Structure 1
Amino acid sequence: MKSLVARKKQRGISFIGLLFVAIVLACVGVVVAQVIPTLIEYQAITKAANKAKEGNTVPEVRAIFDRAQAIDDFTSVTGKDIEVRKDGDKVVVSFAYDREIHLFGPAYLLLKYRGRSS
């Protein structure tokens, strides 16, 4: 009889625990699904900045950036928003912008993107 009373402790997760973990993972998945397109857009803007640094004058750099913007179809940064300067004999194109993602109610996720041509 003693062996029936002295059971091993059960291991594992309860149904309520499983439900809680599933809800947390679903919420994280929704946020990640909203962040990924902004990361893809950031990569396209960085690619456009690297392409634009081939110009020699500021209007030429902005025009190259605007053409790349039309091709890659992003709207967060335009040719007017970029900063163009020279470091020695190299042209450096830099940009900065913010993206807000609405989470729920009054809560937002603010993503601050900054970059420059390499």
Structure 2
Amino acid sequence: MNHTSQRGVSLLGVMIVGAFAAFLLIVAFRTVPVFNEYTAIKRIVGILANDIDNGTSVIEARRNFDRRKSIDDVSSVSGADLVIDRSGGKTVVEVQYARTVPLVANVSLLFELSPSSEVR
């Protein structure tokens, strides 16, 4: 008679892998909105930099940001937070902000972001 041992994952192994996968899913679900907002802000400041280069005033650009941010559901920054540099040949619009994302209990993630219209 041929006796072969069973191979596979134990119940404890499945539970540990499942808990780890659940934690990763929680982190992913909580951080996706942060990156969606970042890309929306980056897109808006790029548009504003082009508008300023084409003759829009800085005050009007800030107002345009506030209008666009409500459409794109941006809540972390406002037009007053924008840093607009017109010293070079091209206008650079940028903003720095931090966003805290609560994970579980008193554990949070801190994102320090600085979207800019400058191509790096």
Instruction: Pick one of 45, 51, 61 that aligns with 1:49.
Output: 45
Pair 1:61-2:58 in alignment: no
Could you tell me which runs of 5 or more consecutive residues in structure 2 were left unpaired when the two chains were aligned. Answer: none
CA distance in 2, matches of 1:87, 1:9: 74
Number of aligned residue pairs: give it: 114
More strand by share: 1
Q: Quick check: 1:85–1:93 contact (8 Å CA) kept in 2?
A: yes
Who is 2:79 aligned against? 79
Q: Quick check: 1:51–1:65 contact (8 Å CA) kept in 2?
A: no
Instruction: Pick one of 30, 53, 70 that aligns with 1:34.
Output: 30
Who is 2:105 aligned against? 105
CA distance in 1, matches of 2:63, 2:14: 54
Who is 1:17 aligned against? 13
Could you tell me which runs of 5 or more consecutive residues in structure 1 were left unpaired when the two chains were aligned. Answer: none
CA distance in 2, matches of 1:10, 1:114: 54
Q: Quick check: 1:82–1:95 contact (8 Å CA) kept in 2?
A: yes
In the TM superposition, residue 87 of structure 1 has moved relative to its aligned partner by 4.5
In the TM superposition, residue 38 of structure 1 has moved relative to its aligned partner by 1.1
Question: TM-score if structure 2 supplies the norm length?
Answer: 0.84
In the TM superposition, residue 34 of structure 1 has moved relative to its aligned partner by 0.7
In the TM superposition, residue 94 of structure 1 has moved relative to its aligned partner by 0.4
AA partner of residue 33 (structure 2): P
Q: Moved runs in structure 1, 4+ residues, more than 4 A?
A: none
In the TM superposition, residue 9 of structure 1 has moved relative to its aligned partner by 4.6
- Greater radius of gyration (CA): 1
In the TM superposition, residue 66 of structure 1 has moved relative to its aligned partner by 1.6
Query: Among the aligned pairs, what percent are the same residue?
Result: 32
